[in-house]
Amino acid sequence: MNKDGTFPIAKCGRKAVVTEQNLPEADPTAVPTGSKWIAGISPGEPVCAVAGRVLGARLKAVCRFLPLAAEKSDEDVEHVHQLRISVRRSVEAIRIFSGLMEEAEVIALQDRLRRIRLAADEARNWDVLCERFSQGSCITSKIVEQIKARRKEAQGPIVAVYHEIVDGAFETKIEKLVQEFESHCRGGEKFGREAYRFLRPVVKKFFRAAESDLTADESFHRLRIRTKKLRYTMEIVAFAFDSAFRKKLYPQVTLFQDLLGTVNDHATAKMLFQDWLSKSEDTEQKAFFEGLLLAEERASMDLRAAFLATWTSKVVSDLKKKFLVYC
């Protein structure tokens, strides 16, 4: 607690935001498979060839991070974080290329990915809180230990879904899926000519959300989700377009997503503390959580107001003009 009786706003656990100015030059051929950029994609390739490579890379990333998140999350919290990101990227890849797959196969993959994401969600939320408060002076060591205990409990669903899904068959299905795409690549539409078709509906939904009344909680949340989906779609289609798409437009979208995500971190913390407060019978602890709730509410409102101050109609209009070039 501060000297004036208020609770300090805890430092956010997110990494520094990458901006266009500090974005490093990237060699797409040097990026490892499973990262945001997929090596070797060419606009001259058939769509099915790109689909096989993208789906293979995205789903294999899930297979790589799931055992790490289940068995070694205590060594590095990034394992759970990267698992959630790899799942979301896989979901977008499946959505984009679903027209090239059997409906039953799409549904089965979506179901598995959904179960993995849900298993990891709570653990990641507690990881963020642990990172934010473990070194702060605004929270007692007793509460920190309780946060860590709740994080330990949240590990159970990840372990359970790991043992349920990773039976050897999942990776075999991925390999089979990639091989099927490769075997059918005898011509067809080129990726460079079709990429805008994959991008356009996502961009349309993004701007529909961007131009809504963002003072409403539901609209603000929808913009965050649409920004995230747009980013993951851009990562897939980027090499079908010029370098400005990846080096200038993509960092802009990433910046907006990070800002929206930071607001959401405080909203999530508020939700977790509200639940904790409702179940606590310790008078002193309840008073402490009430203070934390006020701090989280203040942080969320301040960051949201700051975002809306920069999210002007001119910014949205300029962004729309840039995307019109590609879709």
Rounded to an integer, what distance in angstroms lies between the CA atom of residue 17 and that of residue 33?
Answer: 23
- CB 138 within 8 Å of CB 10: yes
Identify the pLDDT of residue 148. Answer: 87
Identify the pLDDT of residue 208. Answer: 97
Identify the pLDDT of residue 311. Answer: 92
Cα–Cα separations (whole angstroms), residue 250 to 19, 122, 256, 291: 10, 29, 10, 38
What does the DSSP assignment read for 248-279?
IIHHHHHHHHHHHHHHHHHHHHHHHHHHHHHH
Rounded to an integer, what distance in angstroms lies between the CA atom of residue 308 and that of residue 257?
Answer: 13
Identify the pLDDT of residue 168. Answer: 63
Q: Spell out the domain ranges in the chain.
A: 1-43+191-327, 46-189
Radius of gyration of the chain measured on its C-alpha atoms: 21
Q: Which residue, among 62, 54, 66, 50, has the nearest Cα to 93 in the 3D structure?
A: 54
Identify the pLDDT of residue 194. Answer: 93
- Share of the chain residues as helix, strand and coil, in percent rounded to the nearest 5: 75, 0, 25
Q: Is 83 exposed, middle or buried (0-12, 13-18, 19+ CB in 10 A)?
A: buried
Identify the pLDDT of residue 40. Answer: 82
Residues of the chain with pLDDT under 70: 1-34, 134-140, 166-168, 182-187
Identify the pLDDT of residue 187. Answer: 59
Q: Is 58 exposed, middle or buried (0-12, 13-18, 19+ CB in 10 A)?
A: buried
Report which residue type is found at 42.
S
Rounded to an integer, what distance in angstroms lies between the CA atom of residue 25 and that of residue 271?
Answer: 39
Rounded to an integer, what distance in angstroms lies between the CA atom of residue 268 and that of residue 133?
Answer: 14
- 1-43+191-327 topology per CATH: CHAD domain (1.40.20)
Other beta carbons less than 10 A from residue 24's beta carbon: 5
Identify the pLDDT of residue 3. Answer: 41
Identify the pLDDT of residue 237. Answer: 95
Other beta carbons less than 10 A from residue 171's beta carbon: 15
Rounded to an integer, what distance in angstroms lies between the CA atom of residue 179 and that of residue 181?
Answer: 5
- Please give the model's pTM, rounded to 2 decimal places: 0.82
Q: Which residue, among 45, 86, 35, has the nearest Cα to 195 in the 3D structure?
A: 45
Q: Which residues contact 12 (CB under 8 A, 6 or more apart)?
A: 132, 262, 265, 266
> H or E element: which one contains 127?
helix 103-133
Cα–Cα separations (whole angstroms), residue 2 to 9, 137, 305: 10, 9, 24
